[in-house]
Amino acid sequence: MSEARIAQFSKLVEQHPSNEMFRFSLAQAYENAGRIDEAVTHYRACVESKADWMMPRITLGKLLLKQGDKTSARPLLEDALKLAIEQDHEDPAAELREILEDLS
């Protein structure tokens, strides 16, 4: 199933490279398939595409933490927390506060 979703969203990203939602879905498909390096690449593209998009920052930050890269993860998670607060997303804000507290 994962490989089919990767193929599906790879084709869509190829056809519509500026569509952030297709790229985000491709990143998720890679993550679900355990292809973390490829997921990270596409989550980074999502982060760079929209300054106010919280979800790829959260997901990318968590993946980087799993890889042991706290230095790269922290600013992404801090940005995501700011966005969560600005956009009134209480649950993500609470989760991000916990994660960042654990990094201290």
Q: How far apart are CA 92 and CA 98, in angstroms?
A: 10
Q: What is the mean pLDDT of each run of 10 residues along the chain (104 residues)?
A: 92 95 97 96 96 97 96 97 98 97 90
Q: What's the predicted TM-score (pTM) here? A: 0.93
* Those residues with Cβ within 8 angstroms of residue 64's Cβ, 6 or more apart along the chain or in another chain: 40, 70, 72, 73, 76
Distances (CA, A) of 27 to 23, 89, 102: 6, 22, 26
* Those residues with Cβ within 8 angstroms of residue 82's Cβ, 6 or more apart along the chain or in another chain: none
Contact call for residues 33 and 2 (beta carbons, < 8 A): yes
